[in-house]
Amino acid sequence: MKRKIISVILIMLFVFSLFPFFPQYRVEAANSSTISSPKSLKAVSYSQGGIKLSWDNVSGAQDYFIYRSTSKNGGYKIIKVVKTTTFINRSVTVGKCYYFKLKARKTIGNVKYQSAFSNIVYGTAKKPVLYYVVPNVYNNTETQAVTKLKNFQVVKTYANSTTIVINMVIGTDLVTGSKHKKGSKITLIISKGPSPTPSPSPTPTPTSTPTSTPTPTVYKSTVLFAPGIDSSVVSQKTIDAIKSILDRGGLASATISSTIRTSLSQATIMYNNIVNTSPETQKSIYGDAGDQVIDVYIAGKNAAKTKTQIIQDMVNRIETLWPTRVSNHCVKPADYALVNVIDIGYSSVSDIQIFRVQAIWARDNGIIKTFLDEPSNSCFHIEVQN
């Protein structure tokens, strides 16, 4: 019996003697200089369902242990280990309150250190917010459009149109394909048909009074130019067309952010827009020639080329494709003088919905040649025939 006891003791001593060779785990005090506890832990209800946590980065931390409980004073369990400083807890019950705290951890040599606990926060999960896509209602009947827009609060307005017959839908103030909360207000623009043609005035009896010069239209609005944009290439007719849109909508001003482009400026703008959105998004805007230039960007990224190298490759492709246009902005000065092509940034207009409605009116009434809404680039594209 004694031999067995001695054998067990010897085995235990042997096992414990091996512990220094294994990684150790140590919890430091709250004021330890080894690793600080996470600060500024916050919890907010996440719009898509769940509770979003965020906190300040802890210097040297490799990961964070997130603890949760339904009671502030106990019952905490680890629900996740993350390496970032944000986490969305989606496995929650709507309306239920949850408490959270966390620790930071780092490893030095074979020793793993944990910080003290952070502050405790709580959050209650709310019902997810539903978003709906604005459908295409162009040239629909009023009844068809209202049915498609059943998830929105529809307000109707009427505008003259030379291309959409009376009582058919011109469009909406919200961009087709954009997402909005259920019940969002949307304005349905219905055609009143062409503007009524005024009755001709009786031919006046000729007199000896000299013919007077017609009084030019006085506009209240202002058209500005973004820094670095050449205003000299834009005709007065184009300026007046934009002012008519602004005045009709009661808008004070708009800023032209782009006019004629060189191959280099076109390539640079395309590069930046791709970076800010995605190649697929930009391909939905351009035609075949533009898609070829975007493919050059993709190839350059895959080859780990620099920004300067990729833009130069894009310039080369634009010039190789000439005279096929990558963009109506990128033309010879003589061609630009015939058709001015401009962009107006969303941020320069006080109400983009009103501007959109009035620009459609201007296009349908021959004041401007082309109107395109480019939400992915946050701008309106307008062309005016000189």
**Distance (Å) of CA 288 to CA 117, 283, 292, 329:** 58, 9, 6, 16
Give me the chain's average pLDDT, please.
85
Per residue of the chain (386 residues), give pLDDT as tens. 666 666 656 666 555 554 444 334 444 444 456 889 999 999 987 766 789 999 999 998 999 999 999 999 999 999 999 999 999 998 898 888 999 999 999 988 888 889 999 999 999 888 777 788 889 888 899 999 999 999 999 999 888 877 788 889 888 888 777 788 888 999 899 988 877 665 555 666 555 555 566 667 889 999 999 998 989 999 999 999 999 999 988 899 999 999 999 999 999 999 999 999 888 888 878 888 888 999 999 999 988 899 999 999 999 999 888 777 898 899 888 889 999 999 999 999 998 888 988 898 888 888 999 998 888 889 999 999 99
pLDDT at 341: 95
pLDDT at 7: 65
Percentage, residues of the chain above pLDDT 70 = 85
pLDDT at 141: 92
Separation of CA 137 from chain center? 23
Q: Is the pTM higher than 0.75?
A: no
pLDDT at 28: 42
pLDDT at 240: 95
Opening angle at CA 350, ends 344 and 355, nearest 5: 60
Please, are residues 315 and 264 in contact by the beta-carbon 8 Å criterion?
yes
pLDDT at 282: 87
**Distance (Å) of CA 39 to CA 27, 30, 73, 126:** 18, 12, 19, 25
Closest C-alpha among 30, 26, 104, 109 to residue 60: 104
Long-range contacts of 313-319 (CB under 8 A, 24+ apart): 314/267, 314/270, 314/271, 315/263, 315/264, 315/267, 317/292, 317/293, 318/263, 318/266, 318/267, 318/293, 319/263
CB-based burial, 88-111: b 16+ in 10 Å, e otherwise: ebeebeeeeebbbbbbbbbeeeee
Please, are residues 115 and 36 in contact by the beta-carbon 8 Å criterion?
yes
pLDDT at 3: 65
Element (H, E) at 280: helix 279-283
User: If DSSP codes are grouped into helix, strand and coil, which group holds residue 68?
Assistant: strand
pLDDT at 27: 44
